[in-house]
């Protein structure tokens, strides 16, 4: 009986320790060991979608890397009251690419939509069915790429942020 | 009667063997290797997992870790029972069976925890109810239904293997039911790759995992199936004679060719499979009860269970398949000049062989034979003859402790008999509770652990 209690206690303690180390590394902003998620090579022309450093929770990192390299060429000097639709580069995640499209009217974002995201298997569908709408509405509200990732949808969120930033860069915002 | 295995002139001088025969893998080394493997599984999870947050993530990842460990655990359990020579020689069949039993309970618990944690974690993450999430998992996730059936099978086998259940069923029934574990492993294998987050997108991990499973399967096939067949063809063992030794006790003399190639030593046992309708289905362990001689081997069994009772009905000429030799209770373990053999009940069997062959000068070898009743004593004539011929001492003690008034295998009694006990090598064999008690008594009498060699029956 004592052995059973010991095994149970040891297992639970081990699990809790492992999981909390994984959680801490996110808030510290230092990726201890994250999956080599975003190759970022093939599909992304602009370097702003380089989230392969495993950006920790939301804030800043994706946006800051993006804006640090904001290229932006394209027509910033748009005439008044024009609406244009800009599609960001598709960002690869381990489950499939995510691509975000934004609609810009008079220099502000009026619509955000993910036009491509992983839907191959039941789990992807289940997760993204709530993650994508949430990301869309948050991006629209914030009008930039400084939004929170959706818990339980880490990979989708990372890809989304990258592609969103790429779209913003292309639109000159 | 001593049958056809008459005792030759006994070896007298004990010289420490120049190089001990390979004693197999050290138990602690094996435990360490198992632990390293478990850590590797955890490392795989660590490497594959991005930072997590939220209760759902915690549950799901706890489910992943327990799943990985369970998938690894079944491989370890099968490997322990694969009859790998280093394990059999270094750890011993009785200890391997105990490890397997404890590890089996733990692994089944991991499987159950894995199923519950994953279901709960997915439900929390997707904001659905647990029951509906379970339904989703079973119906739309690939191979999960098979894996669930596998999990239930494992729980069933675990329940049936519990002592309370085993007491109520025949050994044969339990033995057959236990084979369902193989089916469970086969059913659950594919879901690891199809839905396991650590494997779905990680090809090297899949390769390594498959290699691990394949290696153990190959070892199992080789050592449990092919080697016995090869040995059977080479040695052509057959029953030569069946000799009743006493009430419920029977000796079987087995003959064959090239038996010296088996390199069987006194104190060891084989797993014997007899080609009769009632005995072919299992290979049961019986110790050699006399030194292996040229082309004859003798085993002795007490009538526990259907299998042992059926031995008495064997007819000469019956084909025999032997796996082995197994067992660590050999002369190779010896470290000191003086030896004490302690036999409990049917544990006399391997010790009778050692009593005959262990090199020792007169006065250096003692046998303490502990039996419940006078009718339980076997080989009394043979043992007396050997004792006289070798100048060895034989103590035969029958009767319950309460009637005797003292415990003959307690520390005080042993030391009273042999005051210099800590200078003896002690070989102990008998039922598990007895060997445990005797080992504690020996430790209390300050016999160093490396001089105590024990093997228990009951696996």
Q: Is the pLDDT of residue A158 over 50?
A: yes
Same domain for A24 and A88, yes or no, is: no
Q: Across all residues in chain B, what is the average pLDDT?
A: 87
Residue of A nearest to B128 (CA): A126
Q: Is the model more confident about B283 or about A48?
A: B283
Q: Where are the beta strands (DSSP E) in B156-218?
A: none
The answer on A128 and A93 residing in a single domain is yes
pLDDT band, very low/low/confident/very high, at A172 (cuts 50, 70, 90): confident
Residue recorded with tokens 């009430």 = B247
Complex-level ipTM beyond the 0.90 threshold: no
**What confidence tier does B368 reach under pLDDT thresholds 50, 70, 90?**
very high
| pLDDT at site A36 | 42
pLDDT over 90 for what percent of chain A? Answer: 8
> pLDDT tens digits, residue range A32-63?
444 444 444 434 434 333 343 333 333 433 33
Taking the Cβ of residue A3 and every Cβ of chain B, the question of whether any pair is shorter than 8 Å is answered with yes
pLDDT per residue as tens digits for the range B42-68: 999 998 888 888 888 899 999 999 999
Closest-CA residue of A relative to B69 is: A11
Share of chain B above pLDDT 90, in %: 45
Q: Are B326 and B256 in contact (CB under 8 A)?
A: no
Domain of residue A8 covers: 1-33
- Mean pLDDT throughout B442-455? 90
| pLDDT per residue as tens digits for the range B117-132 | 999 998 988 888 889 8
Chain A contact for B195 (CB, 8 A cutoff): yes
Nearest to A25 among B51, B56, B201 (CB): B51
Mean pLDDT of B261-275: 89
Which pTM value belongs to this model? Answer: 0.73
Q: Are residues A5 and A85 in the same domain?
A: no
Across residues A100-105, what is the average pLDDT?
A: 88
Per-residue confidence at B365, pLDDT binned at 50, 70, 90?
very high
Q: What mean pLDDT value characterizes chain A?
A: 71
Mean pLDDT for B150-154 is 94
Neighbouring residues of A169: CB distance < 8 A, sequence distance ≥ 6: A46, A48, A66, A70, A71, A72
pLDDT at A131: 87
Residues of A in contact with B140 (CB under 8 A): 122
Residues of A whose CB is below 8 A from B49: 22, 34-35
Q: Are B287 and B349 in contact (CB under 8 A)?
A: yes
Q: Are residues A49 and A124 in the same domain?
A: yes
Report d(CA A66, CA A161) in Å as an integer.
Answer: 10
Q: How many CA atoms lie within 13 A of A115 on its CB side?
A: 16
What is the pLDDT at residue B242? 93
pLDDT at B110 over 70: yes
Q: Report yes or no: B152 and B183 within 8 Å, Cβ to Cβ.
A: no
Q: Starting at the edge strand that comes first in sequence, how are the strands of the sheet with B338-344 ordered?
A: B393-398, B365-371, B338-344, B424-431, B452-457
For the residues A153-165, what does the mean pLDDT come to?
87
Candidates A126, A132, A149, A156, partner chain B, best to mutate (most B CBs within 10 A): A126
Q: Would the pLDDT of B142 be above 80? A: no
Residues A16, A74, single domain; the answer is: no
Distance CA B121, CA B184 (A): 24
Task: Please tell me the predicted confidence (pLDDT) of residue A52.
Answer: 38
Angle at alpha carbon of residue B375, lines to B370 and B380, rounded to 5°:
65
Number of domains observed in the structure of chain A: 2
Q: What single-letter DSSP state applies at residue B433?
A: H
Evaluate if residue B28 carries a pLDDT over 60: yes
pLDDT band of B305, cuts 50, 70, 90: low
Q: What is the per-residue pLDDT across B168-178, written as a single tens digit (0 to 9) for each?
A: 777 778 888 88
Tokens at B80, concatenated: 């322990």
What are φ and ψ of residue B369, in 5° steps?
Answer: -110, 115
Predicted pLDDT at B425:
92
Mean pLDDT, rounded, for B281-296: 86
Is A26 part of the contact surface with chain B (CB cutoff 8 Å)?
A: yes
Q: Which two tokens stand for residue B77?
A: 């359990």
A85 and A160, same domain (yes or no): yes
Report the pLDDT value the prediction gives residue A40, as an integer from 0 to 100: 41
Task: Give, in order, the Cα–Cα distances in Å from B437 to each of A171, B112, B226, B311, B397.
Answer: 82, 35, 39, 30, 17
Give the per-residue pLDDT at B12: 58
Tokens of B180: 């369902």
**pLDDT at position B351 over 60:** yes
Mean pLDDT value across residues B202-221: 94
- Give me the residue from A37, A95, A130 closest to B127, CB to CB: A130
Task: Give dist(CA B344, CA A128) in Å, integer.
Answer: 67
Interface test with A, best of B43, B48, B51 (most A CBs within 10 A): B51
Residues A20 and A42 in one domain: no
Q: Is B244 exposed, middle or buried (0-12, 13-18, 19+ CB in 10 A)?
A: exposed
Residues A110 and A28 in one domain: no
| Whether residue A135 is found in the same domain as residue A78 | yes
Mean pLDDT along residues A5-19: 92
Both A41 and A77 in one domain: the answer is yes
The verdict on A25 and A78 lying in the same domain is no
Q: Based on the domain organization, do A46 and A6 belong to the same domain? A: no
Average pLDDT over residues A124-143: 85
| pLDDT at site A65 | 40
Interchain contact A101–B (C-beta under 8 A): no
Q: Is residue B106 less than 8 Å (CB to CB) from chain A? A: yes
Residue A71 is predicted with a pLDDT of 42
Buried b (16+ CB within 10 A) or exposed e, B201-228: ebeebbeebeebbeebbeebeebbeeeb
CATH of the domain at A163: 3.90.1010
Q: Nearest C-alpha of chain B: how many angstroms from A19?
A: 7
Residue in chain A closest to B54 (alpha carbons) equals A151
Predicted pLDDT of residue B82: 92
Does residue B3 surpass a pLDDT of 70? Answer: no
**Contact check, Cβ <8 Å, A154/B50:** yes
Residue of A nearest to B196 (CA): A123
Count Cβ atoms within 10 A of the Cβ of residue B429 and give its class: 0-12 exposed, 13-18 middle, 19 or more buried. Answer: buried
Chain A residues inside the 8 Å CB shell of B109: 7
The greatest distance separating any two alpha carbons of chain A, rounded to the nearest whole angstrom, comes to: 79
Q: Does A23 touch chain B (CB under 8 A)?
A: yes
Say yes or no for a CB contact (<8 Å) between B141 and A123.
yes
Task: Report, as an integer, the average pLDDT of B208-234.
Answer: 92
């Amino acid at each position: 009986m004592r052995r059973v209690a010991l095994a149970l206690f040891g297992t639970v303690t081990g699990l809790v320790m492992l999981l909390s180390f994984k959680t801490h590394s996110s808030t510290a902003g230092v990726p201890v060991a994250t999956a080599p998620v975003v190759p970022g090579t093939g599909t992304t022309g602009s370097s702003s979608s380089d989230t392969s450093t495993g950006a920790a929770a939301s804030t800043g990192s994706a946006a800051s890397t993006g804006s640090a390299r904001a290229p932006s060429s394209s027509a910033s000097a748009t005439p008044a009251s024009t609406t244009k639709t800009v599609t960001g580069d598709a960002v690869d995640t381990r489950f499939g690419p995510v691509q975000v499209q934004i609609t810009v009217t008079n220099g502000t974002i009026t619509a955000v939509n993910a036009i491509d995201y992983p839907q191959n298997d039941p789990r992807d569908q289940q997760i993204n069915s709530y993650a994508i709408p949430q990301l869309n509405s948050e991006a629209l509200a914030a009008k930039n790429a400084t939004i929170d990732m959706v818990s339980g949808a880490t990979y989708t969120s990372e890809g989304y942020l990258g592609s969103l930033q790429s779209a913003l860069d292309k639109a000159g915002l | 009667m001593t049958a056809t295995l008459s005792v030759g002139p006994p070896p007298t001088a004990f010289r420490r063997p120049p190089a001990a025969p390979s004693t197999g893998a050290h138990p602690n080394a094996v435990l360490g290797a198992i632990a390293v493997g478990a850590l590797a599984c955890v490392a795989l999870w660590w490497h594959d997992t991005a930072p997590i947050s939220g209760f759902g993530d915690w549950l799901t990842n706890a489910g992943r870790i327990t799943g990985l460990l369970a998938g690894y655990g079944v491989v370890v359990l099968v490997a322990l029972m694969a009859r790998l020579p280093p394990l059999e020689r270094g750890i011993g069949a009785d200890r391997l069976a105990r490890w397997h039993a404890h590890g089996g309970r733990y692994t089944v618990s991991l499987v159950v925890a894995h199923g519950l944690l994953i279901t709960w974690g997915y439900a929390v993450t997707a904001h659905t109810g647990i029951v509906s999430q379970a339904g989703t998992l079973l119906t739309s996730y690939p191979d999960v239904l098979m894996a669930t059936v596998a999990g239930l099978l494992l729980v069933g086998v675990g329940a049936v293997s519990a002592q309370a259940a085993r007491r109520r069923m025949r050994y044969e029934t339990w033995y057959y039911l236990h084979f369902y574990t193989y089916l469970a492993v086969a059913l659950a294998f594919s879901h690891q790759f199809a839905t396991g987050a650590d494997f779905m997108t990680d090809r090297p991990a899949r390769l390594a995992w498959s290699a691990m499973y394949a290696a153990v399967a190959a070892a199992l096939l080789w050592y449990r199936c092919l080697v016995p067949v090869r040995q059977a063809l080479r040695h052509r063992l057959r029953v030569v004679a069946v000799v009743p030794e006493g009430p419920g006790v029977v000796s079987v003399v087995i003959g064959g060719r090239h038996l010296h190639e088996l390199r069987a030593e006194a104190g060891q046992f084989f797993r014997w499979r007899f080609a009769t309708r009632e005995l072919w289905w299992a290979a049961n362990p019986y110790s050699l009860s006399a030194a292996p001689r040229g082309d004859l081997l003798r085993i002795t069994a007490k009538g526990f269970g259907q299998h042992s009772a059926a031995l008495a009905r064997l007819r000469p000429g019956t084909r025999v398949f032997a796996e082995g030799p197994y067992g660590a209770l050999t002369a190779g373990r010896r470290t000191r000049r003086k030896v004490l053999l302690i036999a409990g009940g049917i544990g006399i069997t391997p010790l009778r062989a050692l009593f005959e062959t262990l090199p020792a000068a007169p006065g250096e070898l003692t046998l303490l034979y502990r039996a419940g009743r006078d009718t339980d004593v076997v080989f009394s004539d043979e043992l007396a003859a050997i004792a006289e011929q070798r100048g060895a001492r034989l103590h035969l003690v029958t009767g319950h402790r309460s009637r005797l008034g003292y415990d003959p295998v307690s520390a005080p009694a042993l030391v009273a008999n042999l005051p210099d006990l800590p200078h003896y090598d002690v070989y102990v064999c008998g039922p598990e509770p007895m060997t445990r008690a005797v080992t504690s008594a020996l430790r209390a009498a300050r016999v160093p652990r490396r001089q105590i060699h024990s093997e228990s029956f009951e696996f």
